């Protein structure tokens, strides 16, 4: 009995097992996919719950099986070693491995906390991230990462509405979030898009089974003087299953098994990857109301462009606008000159996506297929706009440009 009490006390020092019996039930209630990651993580959570309830031998059995099927899972190996050691002497803390560094133990403890806390967080299956205002009809999936958990969520476009499909544990920058400059080892916050894929045979082993670069720095990052490059979503080295919550130079890292699953959801140039300090979850009714509001802003801009009333059209642009090679002054002069020569303008918009910047930044990223026709010119191309709510409460465009 003393051994069990000491062992349980040691794991309680993690600060993550003091939850109600109702919270414990979530371990059983958690909806799981058929992914390898989810199976392994669920076994780990079950073992932690059994340790809390002093069912040490049952927890040891779970962990013994887990390390057998996944010997590279370092956190599971550490917990398994602790339980084996407890058979011979009392365990007073998490990670009783004399040859392991303090930093190594702390990192694995943080991974255990992150995984445990996610499985005991309030359910979000019936809610939608506020940032996912609208997916276009060709965007089958969207990815949003809660950097505070840290957790990656995959949403499926189901008849125009984002539907939570699955989620994965991730690793973020060593110094947390809010990237500002090259080398700061922080993960950026913002709305990004997958810009390519790098095959594993073109990468060092550190990056695992491949990498999806995102378009950091984007227009808003550059406007704010953010520097750096090479922010990727990638896998883990061959010698380990997962990495601690904060262990990258700014990238988002998932296990290689998860990377292969996530790869099936990616479309170059189209899949959004939204990196949030924390996800703001809203109900479907709230989501519908906000979608209508932001769609109205874009529709009014389109109608005012067609009206040939240049002042109305330009009222949608910020005085801090820059884009298409022009600042606000040259943009105004250009539009006034061009519109004088037009007898009519028709603007068709299709494949429109709308994403809000996370963390209440009051920035909207809009991408669409634009079909422009006038009596003298016509052109169809893909455009991206950045809108911002300004001090007078009005939303205006501060950047627009073509998307290759």
User: String of b and e for 25-48 (b: at least 16 CB within 10 Å)?
Assistant: ebbeeeeeeebbbbbbbbbbbbbb
> What number of other Cβ atoms are within 10 A of residue 226's Cβ?
19
Q: Which two tokens stand for residue 396?
A: 């205006």
Distances (CA, A) of 159 to 20, 155, 156: 38, 12, 9
Handedness of CA 35, 37, 40, 42 (dihedral sign): negative
Average pLDDT rounded to a whole number, residues 131-152: 97
**Residue 58 pLDDT more than 70?**
yes
Q: Which two tokens stand for residue 35?
A: 């992914």
3-state secondary structure of 86: helix
Please report which helix (H) or strand (E) contains residue 47, including its range: helix 36-52
3-state secondary structure of 334: helix
Interval 149-197: pLDDT, tens: 999 999 999 999 999 999 999 999 999 999 999 999 999 999 999 999 9
CA distance 364 to 272: 13
Q: Tell me how many degrees the CA angle 379-381-384 measures, rounded to the nearest 5.
A: 130
**Residue 257 pLDDT more than 60?**
yes
Interval 76-95: pLDDT, tens: 999 999 898 888 776 666 77
Residue ranges, CATH 2.40.440.10, the chain = 128-281
What single-letter DSSP state applies at residue 202? G
Chain Cα centroid distance, residue 187: 11
Average pLDDT rounded to a whole number, residues 385-396: 97
Contact 355, 132 (CB under 8 A): yes
> What number of other Cβ atoms are within 10 A of residue 13's Cβ?
12
Distances (CA, A) of 122 to 90, 112, 168, 403: 35, 18, 16, 38
pLDDT at site 100 = 74
Please report which helix (H) or strand (E) contains residue 2, including its range: helix 2-12
Let me know how long the chain is: 404
pLDDT at site 22 = 36
Burial class of 212 by CB neighbour count within 10 A (0 to 12, 13 to 18, 19+): buried
pLDDT at site 88 = 75
CATH architecture of 283-402: Roll (3.10)
For the chain, give the mean pLDDT: 89
Which fold, 128-281?
L,D-transpeptidase catalytic domain-like (2.40.440)
Residue ranges, CATH 3.10.450.50, the chain = 283-402
């Amino acid at each position: 009995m003393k051994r069990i009490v000491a062992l349980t006390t040691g794991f309680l020092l993690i600060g993550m097992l003091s939850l109600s019996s109702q919270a414990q039930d979530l371990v059983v209630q958690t909806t799981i996919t058929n992914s390898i990651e989810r199976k392994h993580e669920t076994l780990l959570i079950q073992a932690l719950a059994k340790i809390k309830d002093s069912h040490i031998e049952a927890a040891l059995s779970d962990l013994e099986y887990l390390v057998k099927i996944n010997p590279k899972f370092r956190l599971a190996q550490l917990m398994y070693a602790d339980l084996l050691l407890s058979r011979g002497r009392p365990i007073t803390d998490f990670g009783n491995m004399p040859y392991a560094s303090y930093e190594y133990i702390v990192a694995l403890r943080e991974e255990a906390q992150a995984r445990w806390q996610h499985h005991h967080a309030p359910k979000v299956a019936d809610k939608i991230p506020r940032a996912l205002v609208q997916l276009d009809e060709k965007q089958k999936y969207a990815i949003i990462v809660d950097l505070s958990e840290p957790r990656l969520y995959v949403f499926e476009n189901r008849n125009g509405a984002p539907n939570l499909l699955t989620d994965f544990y991730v690793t973020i920058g060593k110094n947390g979030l809010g990237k500002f400059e090259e080398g700061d080892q922080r993960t950026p916050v913002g709305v990004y898009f997958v810009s390519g894929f790098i095959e594993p045979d073109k990468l060092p082993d550190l990056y695992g089974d491949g990498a999806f670069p995102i378009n950091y720095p984007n227009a808003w990052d550059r406007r704010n003087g953010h520097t750096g490059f090479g922010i990727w979503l990638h896998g883990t080295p061959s010698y380990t299953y997962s990495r601690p919550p904060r262990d990258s130079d700014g990238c988002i890292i998932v296990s290689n098994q998860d990377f292969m699953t996530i790869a099936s959801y990616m479309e170059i140039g189209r899949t959004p990857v939204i990196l949030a300090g924390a996800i703001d979850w809203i109900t479907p009714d709230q989501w519908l109301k906000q979608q209508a509001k932001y769609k109205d802003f874009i529709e009014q801009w389109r109608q005012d462009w067609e009206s040939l009333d240049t002042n109305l059209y330009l009222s949608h642009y910020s005085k801090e606008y820059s884009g298409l090679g022009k600042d606000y002054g040259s943009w105004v002069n250009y539009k006034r000159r061009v519109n004088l020569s037009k007898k009519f303008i028709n603007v068709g918009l299709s494949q429109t996506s709308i994403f809000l910047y996370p963390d209440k930044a009051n920035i909207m990223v809009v991408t669409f297929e634009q079909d422009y026709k006038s009596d003298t010119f016509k052109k169809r191309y893909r455009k991206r706009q950045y809108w911002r709510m300004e001090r007078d409460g009005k939303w205006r465009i501060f950047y627009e440009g073509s998307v290759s």
